[in-house]
Amino acid sequence: MQFTKMHGAGNDYVYVDCFAQPVPDRLPELARRISDRRFGVGGDGLILIRPSDRADARMQMFNADGSEAEMCGNGIRCVAKYVYDHGICRRDELQIETGAGVLPVRVETDGGLVRQVRVDMGPPILEAAIIPTTLPGMPVADVPLDVAGHRLTVTCVSMGNPHCVLFVPAATDELVLGLGPQIETDPHFPARVNVEFVEVLGPGEVRQRTWERGSGETWACGTGASAVCVAGVLTGRTERRIVNHLRGGDLVLEWNEADGRVYMTGPAAEVFQGQWP
């Protein structure tokens, strides 16, 4: 099986071109093995780039633990780069099918290769039952959550997958690595949840660390950064357009007031190609 290692702001996945080869067998097991950073290729998960009858390509993704996820903001930028750079579809405007629906993307090129991608992430989902969470509110903004003996204040948003956002003075290891997995599996989140720990640096600037369900801490999370943009507006902490500093790089987010959609712009990079096993 041929594969390509790619990353968006340090959020790295192993990508398989299923236009050029068959869909692999036993995908959850493959995702676990190939994502292992000691005994495999290493990555936050596995993403298949598949033909679609609704879009230019379909993205199917699995977390490092083998669980299938609906959407990845950094992953879709890398899929767009692969589709353009490898000649599957050479248009500046692409349509990518995901588990969260078909999303439009715009690629920015340099020397014939994609350098940066702008993704229309769609409108945020704020209904508790659809996020899903059993926490109260419409929206679920700045509500209390008791986890592992800690009283937390959280805001919940879905960007095609569920997110729990905490605004904190400092996103420490104690919070991210200690409370992150506790919140991910808390009973208030029936589908588990991605957890964002966010420092507000100013009305238009934040710093984020993410605990992703099924993968642990990742260096970036595009849907999470989009959820943070929405949560900042809902709670009056930030403006509608922000720069988000993640461990692997910066993303620009805007929750557009006119159309209600979230737009994310960030880098996409190809690291290397190989053959597995």
Class of domain 2-118+267-275: alpha beta
Q: pLDDT (tens digit, 0 to 9) for every residue of the chain, 277 residues total?
A: 999 999 999 999 999 999 999 999 999 999 999 999 999 999 999 999 999 999 999 999 999 999 999 899 999 999 999 999 999 999 999 999 999 999 999 999 999 999 999 999 999 999 999 999 999 999 999 999 999 999 999 999 999 999 999 999 999 999 999 999 999 999 999 999 999 999 999 999 999 999 999 999 999 999 999 999 999 999 999 999 999 999 999 999 999 999 999 999 999 999 999 999 8
**Which fold would CATH assign to domain 143-260?**
Diaminopimelate Epimerase; Chain A, domain 1 (3.10.310)
Which residues, in sequence order, are CB contacts of 57 under 8 Å at separation 6+?
Answer: 19, 49, 50, 51, 79, 83, 88, 89, 94, 96, 97
Q: Where are the domains of the chain?
A: 2-118+267-275, 143-260
Say what the pLDDT of residue 129 is: 97
Helix, coil or strand: residue 130: coil
Task: Tell me whether the CATH fold assigned to 2-118+267-275 matches the one assigned to 143-260.
Answer: yes
Residues 268, 5: contact at Cβ < 8 Å? Answer: no
Q: Assess whether 156 carries a catalytic annotation.
A: no
How far apart (Å, rounded) are the C-alpha atoms in residues 193 and 9?
Answer: 21
Q: Assess whether 72 carries a catalytic annotation.
A: yes
Say what the pLDDT of residue 115 is: 96
Helix, coil or strand: residue 45: strand
Which residue, among 201, 203, 242, 212, has the nearest Cα to 12 in the 3D structure? 212
Catalytic choice (78, 164, 221, 229): 221
Residues 255, 230: contact at Cβ < 8 Å? Answer: yes
Catalytic choice (18, 72, 78, 89): 72
Say what the pLDDT of residue 277 is: 87
Tell me the whole-structure pTM to 2 decimals: 0.90
